[in-house]
Structure 1
Amino acid sequence: MKNLLFPILFAFNILIIQAQIPSEEFDKTKMEYKGSKSMQAKMLMRHVDIWGKINEKEAKLDVTYLELLNSSIGITKEQLQKHLHSKNITNNEIGGDINSPISHIIVGNKKVFAKYFVIHDVSSPVYKTDFPTNINDESWSFNNVNKWSKKVTHVYLTRTGKSKTVADFSEGLRATKFELKILGVPSRGLYVHIELVQPRVYPPGNIKNAPVAPKPGFTNAQYEKLALLYICSSFRKGEWLVPAFHANIDQNLNDSHDDPQNFETQKFTDNVLKILLEIKKT
């Protein structure tokens, strides 16, 4: 009987580990999620289904990227600056000056720099039945970065790959229910926030709760610029931030969000690795 019971209990324990709820796995004394960066990323980047449902036990992330998370940044300030200059990318596009420190919190009277890179989608504008055919083009008015100015994030990123900083990465913000309702003011500066422009269609929901996102959810230009934002923010930290989805951070909390929808983690990690190589060759 013992031999039969042990595998069952073991399998049950594994299931619990894989189905972790992020807010329940947060250590407030250290102000971070439990486990290695790889374990945290697998928990915080699980695919978000329609209505914000998270059915994936853990995110399927590229092994090379997971190894990167635990390695050094591996690029110099001169290399990164040269790359940005070659692409004509300004500080206003990347969360501010890479020479400036990233946001921080205070833990045990010590300054602790931001640890998490949170990916959101704006979930707007909302359309009644169909998406316009030009949502990925310059002609779609919401790809004009000047339309986005509300200071609920650090950077807005349009579907054409243009980005606008509304709060420098050095400034602490709170943009999730977990930060606002659970952790409170002490968490201001722990998370860096990026809003990806993505419209929604509201049937079967309503105009206030539109669940349907376009497929693919985001453009190649968005993934490329998002990867660069991730590299720049991590460079300012001096080590790799842990990427996270808004919906995972707020999972099981009241009035939690459903973003980002239709996000492809492989495209994100591929772009991070590709751009890193480009920077090193610059």
Structure 2
Amino acid sequence: MGDNARMRLPALLLLLAMPLPAAAQQQAACPYAAWKSGFHGDARAQATCLLRPVQRYARLGASAPLPPFLDSRVGQRTAIAPAALRAYLAQQGIGEADVGGAVDAPLSRAVGRLVAPVARYFVIHDTSYPNFLAEPIPAHINDASWDFNDFSLRNPALGGGPKGHVYVNRLGDSLLVRDFGTAGYASKLEKDKPSLTGLFLHVELVQPRHSVPGGGKGNDGLAPDPGFTPAQYDRLALLYIAASVRKGTWLIPAFHAVLDTGFANGHDDPQNFSLNDWSTALVRLESALRLEKTGQ
């Protein structure tokens, strides 16, 4: 070993002994394959990984089989025409802005990629706000009397930080912040890899939190259980179907926390989300749209 090598050895040993950056200490739950602008596996395999149950403090449960509705559709072509969806919305008195924008308009693209692929992922978040800290979560959070169910009083589009495309309160009302055709990041993965922005559509479900006793000052580890209302699952189903109709194929659903694994200060949402309840809402809505198509 030469003198230069001997001089470099202590520095190398010191470097190896240093802790890894926080973002590198935890392996991503679903490895991202940059060459394919997506995650490993086909659409169903990706959804199975990206929908791992989110537990307290962003711990993830084991992958489980997808509900039948998602298992048979994710990645496949949709059989719902924009005209049928538009007629259904008109019948229900729901504006197209409430479901992410015009139902026949293109979705966002990842303009930072060489071929600018169209959005593929439908990311489910919860707002984790307001945080009632040591106080119990109020009993009336599912009522119209709760301020955070009135977007004119509590507008999530105000303030700084990344925003979701659409917000859904606990009454099932939705607020468009960014059209599904407009790229915008709302995950650590996209912040780390800006060229991916546009591949992900983000929906925020209003969910308050409070603190885990003894879990650290100001923590927001406790969510209501059940985490979301039937009206929220219904509107989330409508948003997913509307986005998939615009794409022409069923998007790959994902949980925010799963995308954030592998990054420092990753998020822990959505908490107490029921895939079965959402799937039930999807089945019911698709049946209604099928009746709309046949005119029955």
- Is this a same-fold pair by TM over 0.5? yes
In 2, Cα distance between the equivalents of 1:36 and 1:53? 24
The Cα of 1:63 is off from its aligned counterpart by 2.7
Asked whether the equivalents of residues 159 and 197 of structure 1 are also in contact (C-alpha less than 8 Å), the reply is yes
In 1, Cα distance between the equivalents of 2:28 and 2:253? 16
TM-score (norm 1): 0.88
Say which is worse superposed, 222-231 or 126-135, in terms of deviation: 126-135
Structure 1 residues 208, 60: closer, same or farther in 2, change over 3 A? farther
Render the CA deviation track for 1:38-72: whole Å, top value 9, x for unaligned. Answer: 1011100011111111131x133213421111432
Render the CA deviation track for 1:8-52: whole Å, top value 9, x for unaligned. Answer: xxxxxxxxxxxx8445x2111221011111101110001111111
Residue 36 of structure 2 aligns with which residue? 30
1:124 to 123, 126, 129: 129
The Cα of 1:108 is off from its aligned counterpart by 6.0
In 1, Cα distance between the equivalents of 2:228 and 2:208? 10
Say which is worse superposed, 159-168 or 269-278, in terms of deviation: 269-278
Structure 2 gaps of 5+ residues are 1-26
Residue 66 of structure 1 aligns with which residue? 71
Asked whether the equivalents of residues 126 and 207 of structure 1 are also in contact (C-alpha less than 8 Å), the reply is no
Say which is worse superposed, 70-79 or 220-229, in terms of deviation: 70-79
1:174 to 147, 164, 185: 185
Residue 102 of structure 1 aligns with which residue? 107
Residue 160 of structure 1 aligns with which residue? 171
Counterpart residue type for residue 220 of structure 2: A
Q: % of aligned pairs identical?
A: 36
Residue 235 of structure 1 aligns with which residue? 245
Matched, 1:270 2:280: yes
Asked whether the equivalents of residues 61 and 266 of structure 1 are also in contact (C-alpha less than 8 Å), the reply is no
Residue 196 of structure 1 aligns with which residue? 205
Matched, 1:82 2:87: yes
Asked whether the equivalents of residues 260 and 266 of structure 2 are also in contact (C-alpha less than 8 Å), the reply is yes
Asked whether the equivalents of residues 38 and 69 of structure 1 are also in contact (C-alpha less than 8 Å), the reply is yes
In 2, Cα distance between the equivalents of 1:123 and 1:108? 32
Residue 279 of structure 1 aligns with which residue? 289
Asked whether the equivalents of residues 247 and 260 of structure 1 are also in contact (C-alpha less than 8 Å), the reply is yes
Structure 1 gaps of 5+ residues are 1-19
Residue 149 of structure 1 aligns with which residue? 157
Residue 186 of structure 1 aligns with which residue? 195
Say which is worse superposed, 146-155 or 75-84, in terms of deviation: 146-155
Determine helix, strand or coil for the equivalent of 2:123. strand
In 2, Cα distance between the equivalents of 1:79 and 1:158? 26
The Cα of 1:206 is off from its aligned counterpart by 4.8
Asked whether the equivalents of residues 102 and 169 of structure 1 are also in contact (C-alpha less than 8 Å), the reply is yes
Counterpart residue type for residue 85 of structure 1: A
Cα root mean square deviation, aligned: 1.6
4+ long deviations beyond 6 Å: none
In 1, Cα distance between the equivalents of 2:212 and 2:74? 39
Counterpart residue type for residue 162 of structure 1: D
Render the CA deviation track for 1:55-110: whole Å, top value 9, x for unaligned. Answer: 31x13321342111143201112211111111101122111111211100147632
Of Structure 1 and Structure 2, the greater strand share is in 1
In 2, Cα distance between the equivalents of 1:49 and 1:216? 13
TM-score (norm 2): 0.84
